[in-house]
Amino acid sequence: MAQKDSYKLLAQNKKAFHDYFIEETYQAGIELVGTEVKSLREGRCNLKDSFVRIENNEAFIFNMHISPYEHGNIFNRDPLRKRRLLLHKKEIFKLLGAITQDGYTVIPIKVYLKASLVKIDIAIAKGKKLYDKRESIAAKDQKRESEKMFKIKNL
């Protein structure tokens, strides 16, 4: 019997769903050093204001803050350094094609442990306008209200 893929969520970019329309997501590995992995296992990661950029046909994530490991001393690296993402060339070229279109960007969605590996979900996203944000908030409120009414009605 096949075991379902289990993962432990380390960090999530909740603001991404508020600020962007998510078009397509990809799973990637991250090139990290040992103390960064230990810090991530403690859940000390922040994806706020981070983004993905393609340089020399390689994907890098910028502004992803991984706090220094407390017991790491000289082995700790800069918390905001750029980190290479491990993707297939075909996926990198798809991301590059999407970035060249006007209004599209690539952002991280969540960081998690899958088995013993650190993975990150990145997404091709298009920025929302102010009226789009208002519409999504109104739809969410309406959904919450209807669920509340349904729950009261069925009691």
Residue 144: inside a domain, yes or no? no
Residue 63: inside a domain, yes or no? yes
Name the pTM for this structure.
0.74
Residue 64: inside a domain, yes or no? yes
For position 83, which CATH number holds? Answer: 2.40.280.10
Residue 84: inside a domain, yes or no? yes
Residue 31: inside a domain, yes or no? yes
CB 121 within 8 A of CB 109: yes
Residue 89: inside a domain, yes or no? yes
pLDDT truncated to tens, each residue of the chain (155 aa)? Answer: 445 567 888 889 888 888 888 888 999 999 887 788 888 888 888 888 888 889 898 999 999 888 887 776 766 776 778 889 999 999 998 888 888 888 888 999 999 988 888 899 999 988 887 777 788 888 888 888 888 888 777 76
Residue 47: inside a domain, yes or no? yes
Range of the domain at 74: 7-128
Strands 51-55 and 117-127: unpaired
CB 85 within 8 A of CB 122: yes
Nearest residue to 47 (alpha-carbon basis) of 113, 122, 118, 117: 122
Residue 92: inside a domain, yes or no? yes
- Domain count within the chain: 1
Q: Annotate 40-97 with three-state secondary structure.
A: HHCCCEECCCCEEEEECCEEEEECCEECCCCCCHHHCCCCCCCEEEECCHHHHHHHHH
